[in-house]
Amino acid sequence: MIDPIRIAVKVAASGLEAQSRRMLIVSENLANASSTGNTPGADPYMRKTVSFQAAMDEAMGAKLVKVDRVDVDRKPFRVEYDPGHPAADANGNVKLPNVDMLVELADIRETNRSYEANLQVVKQARSMMSMTIDLLRSS
């Protein structure tokens, strides 16, 4: 039988890992917000999306979080007229990535908030553990 406080720490750790994976994907999207192709008419960078899933851990009897899959966003690309660009097609239009800065920044804020909440759980579980150990300390 596993100590429930230890389960709490493990579940929170799985949450931390999932949120940091999400942060990675978001930063990838932000960094490539203007990455175009380099041959005429080529597709630019496609925005990646990440989704989470609850995974039952039989040994602990608790649900861990894991990254379900990383997909690409099927939204249409932004098109800009820039005939001098190496990726411009015959009409002079360049396809730009379907990354919306505002959405990505909102995502970063949410990731940050969720990460902080998980961290808070780890802190509290640790303080509960040390309170129990302190019972042994002779006063």
Query: Could you list the residues that contact another protein (CB under 8 A)?
Result: 1-5, 7-9, 11-12, 14-15, 18-19, 22, 51-54, 60-65, 110, 113-114, 117-118, 120-121, 124-125, 127-128, 131-132, 134-135, 139
For 71, the 3-state DSSP assignment is strand
Distance CA 58, CA 53 (A): 16
Residue that the structure tokens 């994976």 belong to? 21
Nearest approach, Cβ of residue 103 and another protein (Å):
15
Residue number, 19 or 29, with CB nearest to another protein: 19
15-36: buried (b, 16+ CB within 10 Å) or exposed (e) per residue? Answer: bbebbebbbebbeebeebbeeb
Residue number, 30 or 121, with CB nearest to another protein: 121
Residue number, 61 or 83, with CB nearest to another protein: 61
Distance CA 101, CA 65 (A): 27
Nearest approach, Cβ of residue 68 and another protein (Å):
9
Residue number, 34 or 120, with CB nearest to another protein: 120
Nearest approach, Cβ of residue 133 and another protein (Å):
10
> Which segments of 1-139 are extended strands (E)?
48-57, 62-72, 78-81, 93-96
Nearest approach, Cβ of residue 109 and another protein (Å):
12
